[in-house]
Amino acid sequence: MSALAMQNAALPSRRKSCWLGTPEIYFRKTIDNSRLVKVEDPRRAREMKQFAFALCCLFLLVMGYALQHFRAIEYGYKIETLRAQRDGLTEMNRALRLEEASLRDPERIDVMARKLGMQSPQPGQVVRMDADTDAAAQVMASVTPVSVVSVR
């Protein structure tokens, strides 16, 4: 048994002494390709042309899709801008109509007229146009006396 024990003890020392990899040695070998001639392969050339054509078609399709997509996004932004502008104009129109209604208020006009010294019209001062006559019919102009009242 002692011989077996000695072999087992010597085995790990052997493993440590062996190489763990291959040495990095490179040999230079010159290759002369000057005598080689490239042979044209018509089938390979046709395949490359078909592949290039298919690739161009794919590229055009992708670019067409991208162009449509980006234009749709751009139009969306334009639509939102125009919607906001329309809403602003609608709000401004509502405010102007409200202001117009307040300025046309007969009581307000009457108070302002009285402050300026104006009076209500006297009977006979107001001449109403006939609503019964046709719009296409000719009307003769006439002069009616008008009295001017001034209060100072």
Mean pLDDT, residues 31-40 taken together: 88
pLDDT of residue 4 exceeding 60, the answer is no
> In the structure encoding, which two tokens stand for residue 35, read together?
């005598």
pTM for the model stands at 0.44
pLDDT of residue 1 exceeding 80, the answer is no
Q: What is the pLDDT of residues 98-150, one digit of tens each?
A: 999 999 999 999 999 999 999 888 888 887 776 665 666 776 777 777 776 66
Q: What is the pLDDT of residues 67-77, one digit of tens each?
A: 999 999 999 99
Confidence label for 21 from pLDDT (cuts 50, 70 and 90): low
Confidence label for 2 from pLDDT (cuts 50, 70 and 90): low
DSSP-assigned states of every residue in the chain:
-HHHHHHHHHHHHHHHHS-SS------------TT--PPP-HHHHHHHHHHHHHHHHHHHHHHHHHHHHHHHHHHHHHHHHHHHHHHHHHHHHHHHHHHHHHHT-HHHHHHHHHHTT--PPPTTT--PPPSSS-SSS---------------
> In the structure encoding, which two tokens stand for residue 70, read together?
């980006």
Alpha-carbon separation of residue 116 from 3, 32, 45, 119 (angstroms): 140, 116, 99, 9
